[in-house]
Structure 1
Amino acid sequence: SVTRIIVAHHPFDLPEHFEEQDLVNRAPRAMQAFSECGVDILMGGHMHASHAGSTATRYQMSEYAALVVQAGTATSTRGRGEVNSFNVLRVEPDRVEIDRYGWDVVHGHFELVDTDKFMRSGNVWTPHNDGLMAAGL
């Protein structure tokens, strides 16, 4: 199975507290095309705010939800209130783990801050906790 990933500077989806104007123009139209092509992951970074979640929150599409992975900034001083960070994705056909590394100011290096885990059922990606991952669900 192939994992289809779209990488764009400007985001197609963001957490709900961001405004529609923060999204790329015609994002809903693009989402329709992505669903038809079976896109799994949408990656962006323009907002300099890290986030991982499902497109199902903003876009209610029948039997389709991609992962949205927003990067913070690894080097800029415009961090939008969070420390510099970057993501590492581990991708398997039906599972994705996203490790977020944040800058530790005291020790002067990046360290693992958080891990988000998702599983796919059909064309729908959903978050899953460790217990479900260990059970293979």
Structure 2
Amino acid sequence: MRTVAHISDLHFGRIDPRVVEALAEDLAEQKPSLAIISGDLTQRARRNQFREARAFLDRLPMPYMVIPGNHDIPNFNILGRFTDPYRNYKRYISEDLCPIHQDDELVAVGINTVRSWILDFAEGRINRAQMKRMQEVLHAAGPDRFKIFFTHHPFLPPPDAPETRLVGRAREALRRLEEAGVDLMLAGHLHRAYSGDIMSHHTKVARSILVAQASTATSTRLRNEPNAYNFITIEGTGEDARVTFLVRSWEGARFTPGLKSQYVKRGHRWELQAQDPGLSPAS
């Protein structure tokens, strides 16, 4: 069994310090096997914001993987955005924009979907070289390990907003992910938490793939949801796999368990077995 803390959209530079402290404490208490941080560590990609993000990462007691988000490249420094967009990110966070984690039970691959050169650089895109790399790594992992792929920009829209813009070249990337046998896709960007099967939106996809989106973990830029992160429990692989998503939400004093969704693999399809709303804010 593996447990993964899926954290996204920290946005240092526009955070509530109480939430940051509570998040660090909750992660230390929950003790996930791995933390996956799917981008937007800063609000404006400034050095002091990256230093704050670095200090937070240094407190994590578990292995972690991290990729940049669109807020992690310069916004107002146009020259810097085009000539060296990841300068501060690489200096303070990581030089690896496409990290890989592998152990006996799990393989996870992160891909940087930020594109500094497009007009609306808030939107993301995946290129063919990245597709090839992720396909090779995930395919080489074999059928006996659970496979996770994560980006900053989403592949699955919210259930109530099907027209939400998705990462560029999503359909082509999904064909590669199908072939590589990916089990779970994680992303952020939208500051909303939800989960489901990729087939619910991409009707031409032939492989059932679980998707989980994370809310903003610590930013004050909320979208009608509290600060939260996903605590994911993974049991088994292949047709015997079971995955539980637990949204741990900030409730004014600490992070507490909220919506819990349990999926099981039946044949070649993921099925939602149970869903529990968990604790209410008044609990």
TM-score category of the 2 structures, normalised to the smaller one: 0.7 to 0.9
TM-score, length-scaled by structure 1? 0.85
Cα distance in 2, alignment partners of residues 109 and 53 from structure 1: 27
Cα distance in 2, alignment partners of residues 21 and 51 from structure 1: 14
- Name the Cα RMSD after superposition: 1.7
TM-score, length-scaled by structure 2? 0.43
In structure 2, the residue matched to 1:109 is 254
- Match for 1:25 among 156, 168, 173? 168
1:100 aligns with 2:247: yes
Cα distance, 1:118–1:31 mapped onto 2, change above 3 Å: same
1:78 aligns with 2:221: yes
- Match for 1:9 among 142, 152, 166? 152
Corresponding residue SS for 1:125? strand
Compare 96-105 and 19-28 and name the one that shifted more. 19-28
Cα distance, 1:122–1:52 mapped onto 2, change above 3 Å: same
Cα distance, 1:28–1:9 mapped onto 2, change above 3 Å: same
1:40 aligns with 2:187: no
8 Å CA contact retained: 2:209, 2:270 = yes
Aligned residue pairs total: 128
Gaps of 5+ in 1: 131-137
Compare 84-93 and 59-68 and name the one that shifted more. 59-68
Cα distance in 2, alignment partners of residues 125 and 119 from structure 1: 6
Deviation of the 1:123 alpha carbon: 3.7
Cα distance in 2, alignment partners of residues 24 and 31 from structure 1: 11
1:53 aligns with 2:196: yes
Amino acid at match of 1:91: I
In structure 1, the residue matched to 2:212 is 69
Corresponding residue SS for 1:59? coil
The structure having more radius of gyration, on CA atoms, is 2
% identical equivalent positions = 32
Cα distance, 1:102–1:42 mapped onto 2, change above 3 Å: same
Cα distance in 1, alignment partners of residues 248 and 203 from structure 2: 30
Gaps of 5+ in 2: 1-143, 276-283
1:119 aligns with 2:264: yes
Amino acid at match of 1:113: G
Amino acid at match of 2:151: A
Cα distance in 2, alignment partners of residues 39 and 115 from structure 1: 22
In structure 1, the residue matched to 2:66 is none
8 Å CA contact retained: 1:97, 1:115 = yes
Deviation of the 1:129 alpha carbon: 2.1
Of Structure 1 and Structure 2, which has the larger fraction of its residues in strand?
1
Cα distance in 2, alignment partners of residues 71 and 16 from structure 1: 14
Corresponding residue SS for 1:129? strand
8 Å CA contact retained: 1:63, 1:124 = no
Of Structure 1 and Structure 2, which has the larger fraction of its residues in helix?
2
Cα distance in 2, alignment partners of residues 84 and 21 from structure 1: 21
Corresponding residue SS for 2:172? helix
Corresponding residue SS for 1:15? coil
